[in-house]
Amino acid sequence: MTGFLFNAGAIVLLLGGLIFVHELGHFLVAKAMRVKVLRFSLGFGPRLLGFRRGETEYRISALPLGGYVKMAGDDPTEAPAPEDRGRGFLEQAPWKRLAIAVAGPGMNLVFPGAIFVALALALNGNPTEGPVIGTVAPGAPAAAAGLRPGDRILSVAAPGAPARPIRYFSDLRKVVSPHPGEPLVFRVERDGREIEPLTIVPKETEDRNPVETTRRGVIGVAPTYATATVAPVAPGAAGPLEPFDLVVAAGGKPIRHAGDLTAVLEAARCAPLDLEVVRERPLQLPGATLGTFAAATLRGVPTCAGGEPTFRLADPEVSTFVAAVAPGSPAAKAGLVRGDAIASLDGKPVQTFLDVQALARDLEAGVAVSVGLASGRTVQLVPENETFVDELSKEKIERLSLGFSTGRRAAVDPAALATGKVPFVRGPIEILEAAWDELVFMVRLNVLGVARILTGKIPSSTIGGPLMIMSMATEAAAEGWGPFLRLMALISVNLALMNLLPIPVLDGGHITQALLESVTRRPLSVRAREIANVVGLILLFGLMLFAFKNDIMRMVS
C-alpha cells in the first residue's frame, strides 16, 4: 500500500505540477491584460472539487490529462455576455492574444530554469572532485605530455584566451571539451611545487545519443585512481600472479589503489616482492558469468624481466586485458582467452578499451580483422552481428559483436580511490550561468529530437504518452529528488515545444492565428476558426491514440 501511495504521489506531483505551471502562465497574463477568466481547471470533464474567488472558479476535474483556462468570449460561435464586453479573449488585439498564448509554453521553459537553479543551490557546499588527477589513460594526450596521477591542475589556457583557474575537476572538463585538436597550456603542481607548464592537445572524441552525435576534446584523465588490479604481461611472467588479481598489500605496505602500487614498485627497483591479493575465479552459470573471491599470499613475485615489467595494471579504464570471452563468439573462435592483452586491432595500436571501441565502429560483419596481442601472437577475428531489443522503442536492433569484454572494476571502496574532495561553492552569477547552459542544452536536445521524429530519423515508436510518463515518474522518484526534478524539467521543456507547434486548439494554433491577423489586419471568419478547431482536435486526438498505442505495446513487450 505504501508503494502504491508513493507512486501515485509521484505521478500526481509530476503531471499536476506541469499542468499547473502551464495554465498559470495563461492565467497570469490574461489577468494582466484585463481579460475575464471564468475558470482555472486542472483536468478536464466533471468537477471534483473547487472554489470560487471573485469572478473566477478554481477547480480540479475528473480527467487528469491536461488543464485549461476558460476565458470570457473565447468561443467564436457565442456572443460575449453584455457585462463582459471589452474583456473577452477574441475581442483583444492580436498582440494581447499572442502574449496570453505564449505565456503557457513560456512558463514551461521558465520552470526548468528555476529547477536548475534550485539544484545548483542544493549542490553548494557539497563535496566534489578537486582538480587532482587520479588516472592517466595510457597513450592519451595527457600521458604523452607527461601528466601523472597525483598532479594538481592549477589553470588551463586556450589559444587567444586568458588562463582559467581550475577549482574542480568539472572545470577541467568544461575547459578541455570545446578545444579538440588545439594546444592548451596547463599549469601543474606536483609534489607540492609547480613544474614547467605542460602543453596538451586534446583528442577529438564523439558523444552519441539517440538524438545527436557531438564532438569534444578529451585528454584522458579521471579524478579517481585506478584500482590495483593487475595481470601478467604473458603467462607465467610474474610467477604465481594471475590475471585480474587485486593487490591489497605489496612488500608489507597496504595498497589502496594503483598510485600506491606504482610507488612501491618504483621503490623496489625491479626486486621481487611479496604480494597479498584478492583473486577472482569466474563462475559460469546458465546465462551469466559471476565470480568468487578469495585472499592469497604470493611470495617473491618477479616485478621485472630483462628490464621490463612482468605485470601491468588490468583495471578496465587503463588496460586492454580480456576478462571474459563469450562461448561460440567470434573471439572464442579466434582463440582469445581470459588474460590476453590486446595490443592492436586491424594493424592499429590500442592502449585502452576506449581505443578498441573506437576502431570497432569501422569493422564489418563477416570481414576478418587481425588482432595483435601483447604476447606477440596475432589472431584473425571475424565480427558477427547480434540482435538485441532496444529498451526504449522495444525494437530489435542489430549491432556488431566481437565476443569479448573487459573486467568488472574491482569492488573497492570509492573513498579509497578518490584523489580528494573539496567543497563545491559557486556564486549567484555562476549558478545562473550553469542553469542557463543546462536549459539551452535541454531545449536544443528536445528540438532536435522532435525534428528527427518528424523527418523519420528517429522511429515514431519512441513517442510516449501518459502511461510512459507515469512509469518514468515512479522510477525517477524512487531514485530521489534530483532525478525526479530533472525529469520534470525535461517533460516541461517537451510540453512547451509541443504546445508551440502550429496546430489549432494548441497554443501554437492561437499564436499562428494572432500573427496572421496582425499581418492581414482583419480577424479570421467564424467558419475558418470552426474548421481549424475541428482539424486541430482530430490531429490532437490521433496523436494521443498513437502515443497510447505505443505505451501499450511497450507494456505488452
CB-CB contact of 538 with 504 (8 Å): no
Q: State the Cα–Cα distance between residues 141 and 355, nearest whole angstrom.
A: 13
Which run of H or E residues covers position 164?
Answer: strand 164-165
CB-CB contact of 367 with 382 (8 Å): yes
Under DSSP, is residue 462 helix (H, G, I), strand (E, B) or coil?
Answer: helix
Integer CA distances (angstroms), 323 to 226, 248, 385, 457, in order: 16, 20, 21, 36
Of 23, 129, 280, 438, catalytic: 23
User: Residues 503, 505, 507, 511: is their CA dihedral positive or negative?
Assistant: positive
All residues at 6 or more sequence positions from 354 whose CB lies less than 8 Å from its CB, including other chains: 137
State the cell numbers at 476: 525517477
The verdict on whether 23 is a catalytic residue reads yes
Residue found by looking up cell 604481461 in the block: 233
Phi then psi for residue 299, to 5 deg, are -95, 135
Residue found by looking up cell 492580436 in the block: 94
Query: H helices of 64-219, where?
Result: 94-123, 141-145, 169-176
All residues at 6 or more sequence positions from 214 whose CB lies less than 8 Å from its CB, including other chains: 206, 207
CB-CB contact of 543 with 536 (8 Å): no
Q: In what order do the strands lie in the sheet with 369-373?
A: 348-349, 342-345, 369-373, 378-381
Burial bucket for residue 127 (CB in 10 Å: 0-12, 13-18, 19+): exposed
CB-CB contact of 133 with 153 (8 Å): yes
Per-residue DSSP letters for 417-430?
Answer: HB--EEE----HHH
Q: Report DSSP state, residue 234.
A: S
Active site amino acids = 23
